[in-house]
Amino acid sequence: MKSGPSVAHNGGDPIPPAPTSASNWNRRPYPLPMPRRCLDFLYVHASLTFVLMVTFFLCFGVTSVNLFILLKMNLDLFLQYGLMVIADGALEQLFDLITSAILSIIFYLLFKVCERVLVERLTAKKFGASVDAPREAPARKGA
């Protein structure tokens, strides 16, 4: 029996080789959450980005108005009356409230993307830009 990196200590089962940079083990099977060209488009068109930001903020407000109060009341109804309320449509209302919460989160995230693009545009720092040369630390006085 070999005693090296290719043989394991548990009876000789081979150890799979370590992944290399040429393998696909660390690649995403799905696209990035926000495509680069969308961010570049938003960065170039500041007025459209502002309009989208306001629209997403208003949609977030509409979908989240009284959401927590209605959700609490719906859950209290289930706790108080049990499964009887399913026939009255409380389960459908619960799914509608959860869908509204998810939609509200999506609108909020889109609002934050637009906000970040505008802030970085106003501060003249492009989204995800890397610095070519690292800054050197300033020399200390007296050294």
- The token pair that represents 140 in the structure block: 């200390």
What does pTM read for this prediction? 0.59
Residue 117 and residue 127 in contact, taking contact as beta carbons nearer than 8 Å: yes
Residue 22 predicted with pLDDT over 70? no
**Of the candidates 106, 83, 110, 105, which has an alpha carbon nearest to the alpha carbon of residue 94?**
83
Mean pLDDT of 7-18: 57
| Alpha-carbon dihedral sign for residues 122, 127, 133, 139 | positive
Residue 86 predicted with pLDDT over 90? no
- The token pair that represents 25 in the structure block: 């083990």
**Cα–Cα distance list, 107 to 6, 61, 86, 121 (Å):** 52, 9, 30, 21
Instruction: Give the model's confidence band at 120: pLDDT under 50 very low, under 70 low, under 90 confident, else very high.
Output: confident
Residue 50 predicted with pLDDT over 90? yes
**Of the candidates 68, 74, 73, 69, which has an alpha carbon nearest to the alpha carbon of residue 92?**
74
Residue 113 and residue 106 in contact, taking contact as beta carbons nearer than 8 Å: no
Residue 111 predicted with pLDDT over 90? yes
Mean pLDDT of 59-73: 89
Mean pLDDT over each residue of the chain, to the nearest integer: 77
Query: Which residues are paired to 14 by β-bridges?
Result: 7
Mean pLDDT of 21-39: 62
Neighbours of 107 (CB within 10 A): 20
Instruction: Give the model's confidence band at 39: pLDDT under 50 very low, under 70 low, under 90 confident, else very high.
Output: confident
Q: Under DSSP, is residue 109 helix (H, G, I), strand (E, B) or coil?
A: helix
pLDDT value of position 133? 42
Mean pLDDT of 107-133: 78
